[in-house]
Structure 1
Amino acid sequence: METNSNAIQSSEWGLRNGSVSAYLNQEKRHSLPSPPALHSNDLVISDVITVRTKPKSGDASGSYASGTGGQRLPDAGEGCYVPLRLVLLVLAFLGCAVAYLLRFSISVAIIAMVNTATAANNTSISNGACPAAINASRNTQQSKGGGEYNWTLQEQGIILGTFFWGYVITKCVGGRIAEVVGGRLTVGVTLGLCGVMSLLCPLAAEWHPLALAAARLVMGLLQGPVLPAVYGIIARWARPQERATMVLISFAGCGVGSMMGLGLSGLVVENLGWRWVFYGGGIISLFWTPFWFLLVRNSPAQHPFISTKERQLLSVVHVQPKRRVPWSRLLRCRTIYILILAEFAGTWVQTFTSNQAPTFLTEQVGMDPGTSETLMTVTPGLAAFAFIVSGWLSDFLYRREILSKLGIRRLMYGSGVMMVLGSSVGIIFAGCNQTWVFALFVTLAVGFIGQPSSYQMTPMDIAPNYSATIMGISGLGQLGAFVAPIVNARLIPQHHGWDIVIMVTCVLFVVVGGLYIFGVTAEEQEWNLYEEVEDCCEEDVTQGQDPFKPDN
């Protein structure tokens, strides 16, 4: 009885005095299986290549993976080896690219699908438009579209918008779904089914415009969990000093997919017809899916092909999604609401730079449509490059201990705020100077990309075990994609309406940036260990064992 009493008192003292992390670290050292050590006859060529020489007598070299019936698997260290982290990165990058290709390619295809007549008028030319824009509007001749369908503008708007209605709904819960059923299954199934739906889109379009809208709604519902699920997988595969790099390389695929959807889709329409925009996206998605299921696992411990060397490298990662969420503590965390606001502000800026920018550039500045299309195609590629650079720089500063983790997040968000502020003010003062507007617009579009290397890394900072859930919750900020067009539509007809739109966008981003910089934290929250502490303490106390006493 004295032992049990001491165990209970020790457990209660540890939880009261904030020693949870120390306790769990001690438990992990004694309860988790240690990664196999390299033998003296293992010649390590580099961090990623290991050559196994003649094994010792009686040495059962090789790996044994769960689910293999105890059969020996060939050790990935025997000969040349590609690290599985790299394989995961490539497939995650391609998966994000496929997702955004399926998302945005319809924006180009629908132009060729619809048979419309457009007359030149000045209804979309705002007060204060540049002379080049006014002249271009006056000289525009009536044109007749060659599409097959006589859809109204309202029907086209519904078709284009339903995807995002579904996306917002499932992104909020997608992170939790991925943590419960597994990110690998979530990403593979959703993108695979998205490919099937893309193949069905031409058939739906022939039936009725609302049928196509319904197909796009289903695709949005399917894609919502993709990014949180990818995020959760990387949290279990990335060492602390390489998290930002791995996350942002994966998410850079979004920019490449956008560039393909907006740029290459036009070439597909010209050479093969609009149906092949949907067929091509669906085929690419279905081609990618089996490679994802074959080569990706939720964690290193589950992968049958992992090498001894890589297993040792990843032994420092102790991220394990939990089935129970401490909702009351999570929802009292101030940082969660700052992340939602950051997502809202970023989405608002992206709505302007992606959806409304072509109208601004042609109808306000008077830029040639070809130049505008080139800018809109190149910008996502530059954004993808900025993703990768910002992730690498974040990890570099962390590895070299130049800045604290919180300092890095503040620096990245702050640099993005300064670029957005400077370029927004510059665009207003540039007026009708198309060269300056072009350069400043690129700066604006790339500037807010500094945001992901800050706020999108915060869930891994504060609660890596619930990182996918938190990222999904931050998806509430995607409502900015619905609010921004409504607000901007009311502002544009005003005198110098586009200037007001740009300033509202800039002020919102700067204000939210201040809230993030001064209000966020990068410290791991105590509720990150909620389930693990409760399970360990309850089991040990019930069995009459001291939970702080290591196993022999």
Structure 2
Amino acid sequence: MATCEVPARVSVGILVATGVMVLYMLRVNLSVAIVAMVRTHATSAFNDATEVKQAYCHQFETLESSFVNSSSDGYELDTNITAVDDPIFEEVALTEQLLLTGAQKGMVLGAFFYGYIITSIPGGRLAELYGTKIVFGGSILLGGILTLFTPLAAKFNYIALILIRILIGIAQGVVYPSMHVLVARWIPPLERPRFISITYMANCLGTIMTLPVCGLIIDTIGWEAVFYVCGAVAIVWVLFWSFLMFDSPCNHPRISDKEREFIMEAIAEGTTQQKPNQIPWCAFTTSMPLWAINVAHIGAMFGFTLLITQLPTYMDSVLGFSIKNNGLISSLPFLAQFLGSTACGCIGDYFRTRNYISVATSRRVFATISLVLPAITLVAVGYVGCNTLLAVILFPVSAACLGAIGAGHLANHLDLTPNFAGTVLGVSNTIAFSISMLAPIIVGALTPEQSLQQWQHVFWLTGAIYLVCWVFFMVFAKFETQKWNFHVKEKTVKTEETNSFLKISFLPKITSKKRRCETEDGV
């Protein structure tokens, strides 16, 4: 049997991380493109001329400059900031745009989540039955194809654009639950916080690349090209995934025998050697520890949805960044989130593998970091006014703290029920995004004039949601495997293996590779 110098689970992690990057490229491209493809300008009552609405902070600068001009001899300032900086208005005659109200724009941005919540639970169950390879890969393929048709839908009617975004959401709803299934089958328990932090939070890397690249594409080619490029990249990625991805260590052709035995021994403590054929729905609905995770996920995803859908709009309408700079500046929080997630995952693994802290302490600490600190920093953004430097600093700080969810409540699903990890994450995603998908609509309703004072209300509301969800998690969370995880028979939960990430120190075999993998393939 051929072996790899790089552990097979690392190569699996790379495939998953790049897939998540592509997933978010398809998800967030509209957040930047909509700044160019949609206009919400007011029309004069006396003629059909379009009145360009300046950014809130540029309006303030304009008033201040006008006062200086009227009171200073021979001193003039150029106050036409938005028109110069934003090429959208220079090329409006050359680019076909949708004319939407703020509420309609919020509906377009939120449409993805209307579909997303439909397939989260089925996605987890499908992956438990048929594997992550088909579920994850099929989602990206369908999303890529639909993205190619987005410009056509947008030019036809904004309702058609909403429908195609709903379909993309339906396709993508299966992905994260299917990834939890992969983690349960591939990754030893003590490596899971780090693996989740790096691979799941690769969505930040996808966002980091997508936002500035989309801004550049719009500035040089046009907003339609954004969707053609993203769709093509997704289809190419699916080709690599189909040849290189395998659902378990037992059917990976290049894994070493030692690594296979190490993984199978490590995951045996929480997983049965049969596919889950009955879901304990009653236990799911009455388990307060699961509800603690669900509520924490609501808070985290509401804040994340606010950033991913509304940050480019805030940068444009309040701070007044041009479309080219908007994408670059808007990507900084997601870079911070990825770095924060990776750091928290590594720190959590370090202290856990050395038994410095318990699982409970680790989860509670990182849940506090991911829910309390973002609330504080996000509220602070509303009070720095038009100080763009402080705003550009505080947004990344808030996002970096939010990145701790990988070592916090998100890993708690696998503590409670490795056998049903995909299904319970699907439930959490469905509940969380059923609420967080309202974020774009709420923002549209609370900020009709896009003033800083109106955005302060948005930030206070988000901060309150963060804190309420954190309190609920701290009160009701638990961290040991639940009895209903074993749908066939109860097992005594063994002590966790203590091997650190990527350190292959193998326990004695307790069964042959052939027999163990035959059993696993029957899962």
Q: Under TM normalisation by the shorter chain, which class is it?
A: 0.7 to 0.9
1:412 aligns with 2:412: no
Q: Secondary structure at the match of 1:531?
A: coil
- Kindly provide the CA deviation profile for residues 285-338 of structure 1, in whole angstroms up to 9, marking residues without a partner as x: 122113222222221123233211211221221235512111111211012222
1:236 aligns with 2:168: no
* Counterpart in the other structure of 1:61: none
1:171 aligns with 2:100: no
1:477 aligns with 2:432: yes
Amino acid at match of 2:438: V
* Counterpart in the other structure of 1:516: 473
* CA spacing shift, 1:532–1:343, aligned 2, 3 Å: same
1:286 aligns with 2:238: no
Amino acid at match of 1:240: P
* Counterpart in the other structure of 1:145: 92
Q: Secondary structure at the match of 1:522?
A: coil
* Counterpart in the other structure of 2:332: 378
CA displacement at 1:415 relative to structure 2:
2.2
CA displacement at 1:187 relative to structure 2:
0.6
CA displacement at 1:387 relative to structure 2:
1.8
RMSD: 3.1
* CA spacing shift, 1:281–1:143, aligned 2, 3 Å: closer
Counterpart mapping for 1:58-137 below 5 A: 75-77=1-3, 81-113=5-37, 119-121=51-53, 131-132=60-61
Q: How many percent identity over aligned positions? A: 28
* Counterpart in the other structure of 2:75: none
Q: Is the 8 A contact 2:366 2:405 kept in 1?
A: yes
Q: Is the 8 A contact 1:112 1:145 kept in 2?
A: no
* CA spacing shift, 1:145–1:226, aligned 2, 3 Å: same
* Counterpart in the other structure of 2:201: 252
Q: Secondary structure at the match of 1:504?
A: helix
* Counterpart in the other structure of 1:28: none
CA displacement at 1:364 relative to structure 2:
4.7
1:342 aligns with 2:296: yes
Once residues 510 and 159 of structure 1 are traced to their aligned partners in structure 2, the CA distance between those partners, rounded to angstroms, is 28
Amino acid at match of 2:145: V
Amino acid at match of 2:189: P
Once residues 307 and 222 of structure 2 are traced to their aligned partners in structure 1, the CA distance between those partners, rounded to angstroms, is 28
2:140 to 159, 181, 191: 191
- Kindly provide the CA deviation profile for residues 467-487 of structure 1, in whole angstroms up to 9, marking residues without a partner as x: 110100001111233333444
CA displacement at 1:513 relative to structure 2:
0.9
Amino acid at match of 2:393: A
Once residues 261 and 480 of structure 1 are traced to their aligned partners in structure 2, the CA distance between those partners, rounded to angstroms, is 25
1:500 aligns with 2:432: no
Amino acid at match of 1:119: E
CA displacement at 1:370 relative to structure 2:
6.4
CA displacement at 1:344 relative to structure 2:
1.6
Once residues 374 and 113 of structure 1 are traced to their aligned partners in structure 2, the CA distance between those partners, rounded to angstroms, is 18
Runs of 4+ in structure 1 over 6 Å off: 366-370
With normalisation by structure 1, the TM-score equals 0.74
CA displacement at 1:448 relative to structure 2:
1.9
Once residues 279 and 273 of structure 1 are traced to their aligned partners in structure 2, the CA distance between those partners, rounded to angstroms, is 11
* Counterpart in the other structure of 1:329: 283
Once residues 16 and 65 of structure 2 are traced to their aligned partners in structure 1, the CA distance between those partners, rounded to angstroms, is 44
Q: Secondary structure at the match of 1:460?
A: helix
1:530 to 461, 481, 487: 487
Amino acid at match of 1:497: Q
CA displacement at 1:283 relative to structure 2:
2.0
1:317 aligns with 2:267: yes
Gaps of 5+ in 1: 1-74, 535-552
* CA spacing shift, 1:518–1:197, aligned 2, 3 Å: same
Q: Secondary structure at the match of 2:200?
A: helix
Amino acid at match of 1:201: T
CA displacement at 1:532 relative to structure 2:
4.2
Q: Is the 8 A contact 2:376 2:463 kept in 1?
A: no
CA displacement at 1:518 relative to structure 2:
2.6
Amino acid at match of 1:197: L
1:451 aligns with 2:375: no
Q: Is the 8 A contact 2:107 2:441 kept in 1?
A: no
* CA spacing shift, 1:428–1:453, aligned 2, 3 Å: same
Once residues 326 and 217 of structure 2 are traced to their aligned partners in structure 1, the CA distance between those partners, rounded to angstroms, is 20
Once residues 343 and 87 of structure 1 are traced to their aligned partners in structure 2, the CA distance between those partners, rounded to angstroms, is 28
CA displacement at 1:245 relative to structure 2:
1.1
* CA spacing shift, 1:481–1:113, aligned 2, 3 Å: same
* Counterpart in the other structure of 1:461: 415
Q: Is the 8 A contact 1:235 1:464 kept in 2?
A: yes
- Kindly provide the CA deviation profile for residues 387-406 of structure 1, in whole angstroms up to 9, marking residues without a partner as x: 22221222112101111111
* Counterpart in the other structure of 1:550: none
* CA spacing shift, 1:470–1:152, aligned 2, 3 Å: same
CA displacement at 1:201 relative to structure 2:
3.1
Gaps of 5+ in 2: 42-49, 67-78, 84-88, 492-523
CA displacement at 1:133 relative to structure 2:
8.0
Q: Is the 8 A contact 2:125 2:423 kept in 1?
A: yes
Once residues 131 and 210 of structure 1 are traced to their aligned partners in structure 2, the CA distance between those partners, rounded to angstroms, is 36
Bigger radius of gyration among the two: 1
* Counterpart in the other structure of 1:402: 356
CA displacement at 1:179 relative to structure 2:
1.2
1:222 aligns with 2:168: no
1:388 aligns with 2:388: no
Q: Is the 8 A contact 1:459 1:471 kept in 2?
A: yes
Once residues 365 and 192 of structure 1 are traced to their aligned partners in structure 2, the CA distance between those partners, rounded to angstroms, is 37
Once residues 304 and 240 of structure 1 are traced to their aligned partners in structure 2, the CA distance between those partners, rounded to angstroms, is 23
- Kindly provide the CA deviation profile for residues 500-549 of structure 1, in whole angstroms up to 9, marking residues without a partner as x: 33222212212211221232011100000123459xxxxxxxxxxxxxxx
* CA spacing shift, 1:462–1:388, aligned 2, 3 Å: same
Once residues 216 and 6 of structure 2 are traced to their aligned partners in structure 1, the CA distance between those partners, rounded to angstroms, is 35
Which 10-residue stretch deviates more, 143-152 or 223-232?
Answer: 143-152
Aligned length: 455
Amino acid at match of 1:76: A
Q: Is the 8 A contact 1:166 1:220 kept in 2?
A: yes
Q: Secondary structure at the match of 2:286?
A: coil
Which 10-residue stretch deviates more, 418-427 or 438-447?
Answer: 418-427
* CA spacing shift, 1:407–1:148, aligned 2, 3 Å: same
Amino acid at match of 1:225: V
Once residues 136 and 524 of structure 1 are traced to their aligned partners in structure 2, the CA distance between those partners, rounded to angstroms, is 64
Amino acid at match of 2:208: M
CA displacement at 1:116 relative to structure 2:
7.7
Once residues 414 and 207 of structure 1 are traced to their aligned partners in structure 2, the CA distance between those partners, rounded to angstroms, is 46
Amino acid at match of 1:509: Y
* CA spacing shift, 1:134–1:98, aligned 2, 3 Å: farther
